[in-house]
Structure 1
Amino acid sequence: MCLNLPQMQSRLLLISPGQSYRLAPYLKAAERLGVSLTIVSDSRYSLTREVADGIQGDFTEPSALLDAIIAQAQTTPFSGVVASDDSTVELAARIATRLGLPTNSIASATLSHRKDLARRQLQAAGLPVPEHWQLDLAREIAPQLQGLPYPVVLKPVSLSASRGVIRANDPDEAAQACRTIARIIAPLSNPIERQTLLIECYLPGQEVALEGLLQQGVFTPLALFDKPDPLTGPYFEETYYITPSRLPDAIQQRIRQTVADACRIYGLHQGPVHAELRIDGNQVWILEIASRTIGGECSRSLDAVLARPLEEYVLAAAMGNPLPVERRSGASGVLMIPIPRAGVLRRINGVQEIRTLPHITDIRISMESGQVVETLPEASSYLGFIYSTADTPQAAEQALRNAHRALDITIDPLLNS
């Protein structure tokens, strides 16, 4: 049941894990728009208290958290709710529904977070999805891997950023992948997400990512990114994102329409959309539709092609005052600096040189010397990000490749204990 609240003011709720790297872009966007943010975090050690009002609570036990939010809303009304990460989209939908604010339904938010449920929904509606199966880690594994049309891709049903996504060419590789993914998802709180894997036929082709916004069910594309490096496995580490896309116009239109159709099938009608797709010839396959933005650091690559930062569009739309989308000419790109090997990061040389290279606008290193780093499929973060702008996508991509070659990364092996 919705609550009757006083007249809305320009204050938004941002639901975010305490250490999310998407926090900073949203805080900056709110400051530029003159919007007050209250951040709902799951961590007592969140840094957000230093820069914004905050409410801390247990995301896995939302009842007490909801009570605290509703109590604050009686004296400080909210005009919208935004989820920063996949892990918070369902909670954000529950909070907004309880407050009577515009939101996606809880069911549609769940679909955007759970790959297994989304596959079933899209297939029932007739949209192209890879042939797929569910695997139950609580049952004997080997029989569930027999008879599959290898190669296949195994993945968790709820993680993102290619974490735990593994290609297997035969049952033995698939069994090893199951053991690896089981270790990765063991800490998850949801028992279904902790014991369920999705298995899909491996799809050849090029991957792309589409960023967009939904407002009252209308999908507005913001940017289509090419991923020029082949993603063939066994792991699927994302590196280069380049926009605008160099795909034929007809394929780009099909991508946009497919994502809009998928959002409608999910029941999504409000907020940001980040879609991942594979293109094989003229066939467009949906890999993922998430109801959140591209990662906070990656979103900075859009600054060169949009008149405003991405997060400003999201916050304004959440308040019911969407900003007109204005685009700039030219191209931009971002390199998510891959971790070449697991171990202890000692140094990254070449950063100052890279800042002087043509078309490079910035480089940001996310990890510190002495930090233990992991590679995929376990890794959940990157060494950092390099950004470029140029007149053409080809030049933006080449600038990033030149910058990557200029990096000298030293990682020492971990000592066995």
Structure 2
Amino acid sequence: MGREPRSILMLGGSRQQVVAIEAAKRLGYRTVLCDYLPDNPGQYHADVFYQESTTDRELMLRIAEREGVSGVLAYASDPAALTCAYVAERLGLPTNPLAAVEVLSEKHLFRRHLHEQGFPCPRSTSVPASSSAADVARAAEGMNLPVVLKPTDSSGSKGVSVLESLGSVALEGALEAARGFSRNGILELEEYISYGFPRVVGGDVFVVDGRVTFWGLMSCLRDEELGGLVPVGEIYPSGLSREQDTAVREQVQALVSSLGIRFGEFNVEVIVGPDGVPYFLELGARAGGNMIPVQLSDISGIDLVEANVRCAMGDASLDVSFDASDAVIATYVLHARTDGVYRGTRLDPLIERHVYREVTYVEPGQSVERFDGANKAIGILFLRFDTEEQMHDLLARANELIVPIVETA
């Protein structure tokens, strides 16, 4: 009689998380999926499915015990990362310290850690989500404008506002936006960081035994017509100078060490200031969204999705060492600028010949919403270019070369 396969608890079955479920099954693990949404696609790939909230720590712990899992993975999920660390820590399974994951998962704790550990950091303060516009204006006294107001426990730039002034109308709008994405009722107010390098440095890194062994630094594409806050893709190579790249790497490793992080993939967002100093926007305690691990796997030849699964199961046999590549690869998130009905995407031949993979989330005839977060993506294009110059030239015209057709009412 054959030996029973080991089980892994997968927290989240969204369309971007299906790749992790498939990787776990490919490795021979029995997959136990939890997701509160009844229409999540992951349930059709997993061996066992529970329609339950992944933020309910005690329930996830009971399910993990009932199913006898040997590992827990919250792939590309901020809310579930805390649950993952809690359950794994309680059961003595592979995990990073829960305290470290808590710091990385809530922006006010993250900013406090940066200040206490001496990392470059803008002036900031926390305010209750119930604050009035006048309360926020008082909290901002002494800060240089513009300031940023954001929820402390959301991702993908959801609920973030940049305020050029502290007028009551602007503050009320920013408060409403931030409250809509705040689960813990705490908002962060901080000075805006000016750019020395023109784009946010993004991408993922992978840690093994406390050291970053995989450097997947890229830079973020933004749609200025949507305010320039929400990422709409990543480009590789990043475009950083050697000095800037070295400075970012030093800060990332120092932060990893200061938190006692042991292993796994982490999403990075950094602004390099006019002084060449890197300022952290975040270090996410999970793999990046918008299929960043798949993009970096294409670039490096290392299957990062598989690496995440293996690490969660205590398997460190896969070599996850990567420093640089000659590849010139970008992703572009198909997105709508207005609510309506999606009718397809028009690709100019200039850009179409560079598309080597397309992932579609929305079919023609389905409704779409104005893009203000990764959950509203229509799909993702993977593009390969001959030169960096060609990539930058074409992507600078992405809005005219890549046109999702949305029919408004």
TM-score normalised by the chain length of structure 2: 0.86
Tell me how far 1:326 sits from its aligned partner.
Answer: 5.9
Aligned counterpart in structure 1 of residue 33 of structure 2, from 22, 28, 39: 39
Aligned counterpart in structure 2 of residue 278 of structure 1, from 254, 261, 271: 271
Aligned counterpart in structure 1 of residue 245 of structure 2, from 232, 241, 252: 252
Question: Residues 372 and 65 (structure 1 numbering): CA distance in 2 closer, same or farther, change over 3 Å?
Answer: same
Does 2:394 align with 1:384? no
Secondary structure at 1:112's aligned position in 2?
Answer: helix
Equivalents in 2 of 1:364, 1:89: separation in Å?
25
Are the aligned partners of 2:222 and 2:229 in contact in 1 as well (CA < 8 Å)?
no
Tell me how far 1:402 sits from its aligned partner.
Answer: 5.9
Secondary structure at 2:289's aligned position in 1?
Answer: coil
Are the aligned partners of 1:163 and 1:380 in contact in 2 as well (CA < 8 Å)?
no
Equivalents in 2 of 1:65, 1:108: separation in Å?
20
Write the mapping of 1:124-273 to structure 2, written as runs, cut at 5 A.
Answer: 124-146=116-138, 147=141, 148-172=143-167, 173-182=170-179, 184-185=180-181, 190=183, 193=184, 195-205=185-195, 206-227=199-220, 234=227, 236-273=229-266
Task: Provide the residue aligned with 1:3 in structure 2.
Answer: none
Task: Provide the residue aligned with 1:344 in structure 2.
Answer: 340
Task: Provide the residue aligned with 1:66 in structure 2.
Answer: 61
Task: Provide the residue aligned with 1:22 in structure 2.
Answer: 16
The two structures, once aligned, show a CA RMSD in angstroms of 2.8
Gaps of 5+ in 1: 1-6
Task: Provide the residue aligned with 2:331 in structure 1.
Answer: 334
Secondary structure at 1:350's aligned position in 2?
Answer: strand
Are the aligned partners of 1:390 and 1:396 in contact in 2 as well (CA < 8 Å)?
yes
Are the aligned partners of 1:227 and 1:242 in contact in 2 as well (CA < 8 Å)?
yes
Gaps of 5+ in 2: none
Task: Provide the residue aligned with 2:72 in structure 1.
Answer: 81
Are the aligned partners of 2:204 and 2:293 in contact in 1 as well (CA < 8 Å)?
no
Equivalents in 2 of 1:98, 1:404: separation in Å?
48
Q: Which residue identity is paired with 1:68?
A: I
Secondary structure at 1:154's aligned position in 2?
Answer: strand
Are the aligned partners of 1:241 and 1:334 in contact in 2 as well (CA < 8 Å)?
yes
Are the aligned partners of 1:166 and 1:177 in contact in 2 as well (CA < 8 Å)?
yes
Secondary structure at 2:320's aligned position in 1?
Answer: coil
Question: 1:30-85, CA deviations, whole angstroms, 9 ceiling, x for partnerless residues?
Answer: 24433432223334544433221235233344323322321221xxx51x221120
Q: Which residue identity is paired with 2:47?
A: D
Are the aligned partners of 2:15 and 2:40 in contact in 1 as well (CA < 8 Å)?
no
Q: Which residue identity is paired with 1:333?
A: A
Q: Which residue identity is paired with 2:240?
A: L
Secondary structure at 1:21's aligned position in 2?
Answer: coil
TM-score normalised by the chain length of structure 1: 0.85
Are the aligned partners of 1:216 and 1:270 in contact in 2 as well (CA < 8 Å)?
yes
Write the mapping of 1:280-299 to structure 2, written as runs, cut at 5 A.
Answer: 280-281=273-274, 282-295=276-289, 297-299=291-293
Question: Residues 330 and 48 (structure 1 numbering): CA distance in 2 closer, same or farther, change over 3 Å?
Answer: closer
Question: 1:317-375, CA deviations, whole angstroms, 9 ceiling, x for partnerless residues?
Answer: 223333113655322110123422x2212412425x66983322123332232414124
Q: Aligned residue pairs: how many? A: 392
Tell me how far 1:170 sits from its aligned partner.
Answer: 0.8
Does 2:9 align with 1:13? yes
Question: 1:163-211, CA deviations, whole angstroms, 9 ceiling, x for partnerless residues?
Answer: 11111111122332112322x23xx6x4xx2x22111111111311141
Does 2:89 align with 1:92? no
Question: Residues 346 and 60 (structure 1 numbering): CA distance in 2 closer, same or farther, change over 3 Å?
Answer: closer
Are the aligned partners of 1:41 and 1:54 in contact in 2 as well (CA < 8 Å)?
no
